[in-house]
Structure 1
Amino acid sequence: MPEDLIQLIDQLIARSTESQTVEFKASNDDAFMIGKDISALSNAAAIEGQDYAYMLWGVDDATHGIIGTTFNPLAAKHKGQELELWLRLKLSKNAEFKFIPMYYRGHRTVILRIWPATGYPVAFDGTEYIRSGTSTQPIAKNSQRERRLWEVTKSEAFEDQIAAQWLTAEETLAMLDWNTYFRQTGTPLPSNRTEILHYLESDHIIKFLDSGQYAITNLGALLFADDLQQFPTVARKALRLIKYDGERKSSPSRSQTYAHGYADLDDIAAVLQAWLPESETIGRGLRVTNISYPQIAVRELLANMLIHQDLTVRGGGPLIEIFNNRVEFSNPGSSLIRLERLVNDPPEARNPKLADLSRRLGMCEEAGSGWDKIIDACETAHLPSPVVQQSNDPESSASIMVRLSQYRPYPDLSPSERVDACYWHACIQFANGDYLTNASLRARFGLEDSYSSPISRLIRESVSSGFIKPVDANAPRKKMEYIPGWA
């Protein structure tokens, strides 16, 4: 059922005064004013616990009479740049809004729907704004109001916010792959629609509205959307695949966007696997397919990037880039765990509700064993260790990238790749209650006994760099054992 925008305007103008979350305009199209008001109204919506805040053009702010507007957000520009694009560049990455031009009782109006701030306050041009009565003002630094806003936005879960609403029961179920929910949670499929909706509501996948209609939450859309593009708040979170015909981003490429939600991780992994390079060998008359990357490592990295991405970064989503010699997994947000401690530190969930339901769906484990599996799979296949890079460029959103590289013989590995492999091997051994030794490291690289001396040199280099340390520095040379440098 389409949203009744006429009824929405009726409700907004019926209010006796402007509120903390509603602002009326005539035809003011000042870009800076709009940006500041988006920041203020988004922050106010978070504080007030509202699903949305609104700006409405074409209404007299004193009488609330409909006067129409000449403001056209689709054609408006600021300094030669499209207004909406300029606003998105000036607003913090957690800002989400939507212009809706329409005619109301014969008058041209514009609705600006603004989502509440999540994760942190919404800022415009580096400044956080708030509503004070009916005016917009910068938030005083270190004030009680600023502290309250940070408390509220930190606790405001993106997963709970609304992705689509005013839906009938039929429309709700048609937009979601609810069969996957029952199949993967092991819940018996109910025999009637009412019970299906009850289960979905109990897991915060949908909400029952006071109007008798339904809403789908961001959590529900992220995991079970039949088509993520139907949900503006999470459309940019659709997984994108790019395959390059070479080893550089300048090489020719083709791309695909995975349209569905994340819940069926096995299906996503199968789509990705079809894009990854393979080779065939023939032995004893049988044709054998050799995959370039361990399937368990690929699956765990998929789960990590989808579940632990920073959902408050509205303009970015998960991306997988496939090159001839490597595959890179990228997602918005920095790691909550120090990169060098990914194997051994307790897990932390940026999106706890998404992580909890994903665990019950069998997509991941909350025991923190994902990185152990990734490193262990690379060691078993004698691949270079995964490379983890984090970007904290102040001009853009933080992001994290993990690179898997194809097999190369030990002599072809760079010095840094050898030391990285040595360090992660020590971490895995330590996590398993064991130690790194010359023999275990040779086995990790798939090397014969003749490589004992080169491996000893690698161990000495790793010790001198502080990556690993001996358990007993006075032990006989052939019985030396090592643990991570931080242990």
Structure 2
Amino acid sequence: MRAGEELVTMTPDFLKRIFAEGQADWFEQLAKENASADDVVALLDTQSFFELMNLPYPTSRDGVLARLQQERLIESRIGGWSISNLAAILLAKRLDAFPPELARKAPRVVIYDGPNKLNTREDKLGAKGYAVGFENLIDFVHSSAPQNRFVEQVVREEVKMFPRQAIRELIANGLVHQDFLATGGSVMIEMYSDRLEVSNPGLPPIKVERFIDEYRSRNERLAELMRRMGICEEKGSGIDKVVSAAEVFQLPAPDFRIGDTRTTAVLFAHQDFAEMSKADRTRACYQHCCLKYVSNQRMSNQSLRERFRLPESKAAIASQVIGATKDAGLIKPDESETSSTRYARYLPFWA
């Protein structure tokens, strides 16, 4: 394949996507065929499905199967019931009861002692489908987080280093936006002493600089069902909530990194402003500016100082951060407001 001016070898995953063109969508493919009605109820957590959908549980098994078929999760055929990959990945009581290709999509949580991978404290593989196992997954990750000793009294009710809301949104985002055709990897949730990293197979369809204001779902059927189950909102506000939680809990700005085959979101533990690098400050300034803009507000020196918890006497330092972010091409002055430097307001570069 051509990459710029060069010819490069296609990766196995790229070839797989080419060969998959014209075939059934991954979610429509079958995880199990010729299943009996008893098999369907034994393999899928139908009780949790109806609870998550806020629907009364049918009085008969036929009613349960009819609703699942209405949602295109299962299909009645001559040899019995066919269970789709979508049904299995969302509702499986045990993912390993299905083919290995699907079971390997289970999210994996690894908790390390320290800032690197040298010492593993816990390594846990998700056993259930994404929807039916989601809350337990979030509970486990949140309860494993270190304490936040620096958070202000106003948010003292949640003292974990990583806010539950941010953990929830990042994990939901990783599950929904992964590339299901990619092989050899799953959603990884790795917790270190100073950060939480959530990575998923596949590269995003939009640039990381636009994560706050734009949204494009790679897997629309999955996203739509998870929205209806209350797991994600399918309206692009998840990253906004992560950035907002980082500001409220006095954490450095989250970082979003694109590798060769994976996308990684990093949530950092508390760090004083003086300890932040120039890149950390610039990223925080840009994200704060974006957050203000999507809230129909404008960033100012004062709002940035409030974000960093800096007193008014540090206005010059906030101006330096704004200047560095402007030099990086990430923000620009809002010339419709005022030309005064003191009362300047700022916009993201794309506004």
Secondary structure of the corresponding residue to residue 246 of structure 1: coil
Q: CA deviation at 1:274?
A: 2.1
Q: State the alpha-carbon separation in 2 of the partners of residues 93 and 476 from structure 1.
A: 53
- Which residue matches 2:266? 403
Secondary structure of the corresponding residue to residue 191 of structure 1: coil
Output one character per residue of 1:3-53: Cα deviation in whole Å (capped at 9) or x when no partner.
xxxxxxxxxxxxxxxxxxxxxxxxxxxxxxxxxxxxxxxxxxxxxxxxxxx
Segments of structure 2 that go 5 or more residues without pairing to the other structure are 1-9
Contact 1:238/1:317 (8 A) holds in 2: yes
Q: CA deviation at 1:314?
A: 3.2
- Which is richer in strand? 1
Contact 1:93/1:315 (8 A) holds in 2: no
- Which is richer in helix? 2
The answer to whether 1:214 aligns with 2:86 is no
- Which residue matches 2:345? 481
Pick from 344, 348, 358: which aligns with 2:226? 358
TM-score by length of 1: 0.66
Output one character per residue of 1:128-167: Cα deviation in whole Å (capped at 9) or x when no partner.
xxxxxxxxxxxxxxxxxxxxxx4x14xx311110111221
Relative to 1, partners in 2 of residues 1:194 and 1:482: Cα closer, same or farther, differing over 3 Å? Answer: same
TM-score by length of 2: 0.91
- Which residue matches 2:73? 205
Q: State the alpha-carbon separation in 2 of the partners of residues 92 and 351 from structure 1.
A: 21
The answer to whether 1:291 aligns with 2:160 is yes
Q: CA deviation at 1:405?
A: 0.4
Taking only the aligned residue pairs, the percentage that are identical comes to: 32
* C-alpha RMSD of the superposition: 2.2
Pick from 456, 459, 464: which aligns with 2:319? 456
Contact 2:112/2:121 (8 A) holds in 1: yes
Q: State the alpha-carbon separation in 1 of the partners of residues 334 and 200 from structure 2.
A: 37
Which aligned pairs between 1:112-151 and structure 2 lie closer than 5 A? Answer: 119-121=17-19, 150=21
Q: State the alpha-carbon separation in 1 of the partners of residues 158 and 246 from structure 2.
A: 18
Contact 1:419/1:462 (8 A) holds in 2: yes
Q: State the alpha-carbon separation in 2 of the partners of residues 178 and 92 from structure 1.
A: 36
- Which residue matches 1:395? none
- Which residue matches 1:322? 191
- Matched pairs, number: 336
Contact 1:280/1:289 (8 A) holds in 2: no
Q: State the alpha-carbon separation in 1 of the partners of residues 245 and 131 from structure 2.
A: 23
Which aligned pairs between 1:48-447 and structure 2 lie closer than 5 A? Answer: 92-93=12-13, 119-121=17-19, 150=21, 152-153=22-23, 156-211=24-79, 213-232=80-99, 233-264=101-132, 265-278=134-147, 290-345=159-214, 347-392=215-260, 398-447=261-310
Segments of structure 1 that go 5 or more residues without pairing to the other structure are 1-89, 96-116, 123-149, 393-397
Q: State the alpha-carbon separation in 1 of the partners of residues 334 and 247 from structure 2.
A: 22
Secondary structure of the corresponding residue to residue 290 of structure 1: coil
Q: CA deviation at 1:256?
A: 0.5
Relative to 1, partners in 2 of residues 1:176 and 1:407: Cα closer, same or farther, differing over 3 Å? Answer: same
Contact 2:108/2:189 (8 A) holds in 1: yes
Q: State the alpha-carbon separation in 1 of the partners of residues 173 and 75 from structure 2.
A: 27
Amino acid at match of 1:92: P
Output one character per residue of 1:95-121: Cα deviation in whole Å (capped at 9) or x when no partner.
9xxxxxxxxxxxxxxxxxxxxx6x431
- Which protein shows a greater Rg? 1
Q: CA deviation at 1:439?
A: 0.6
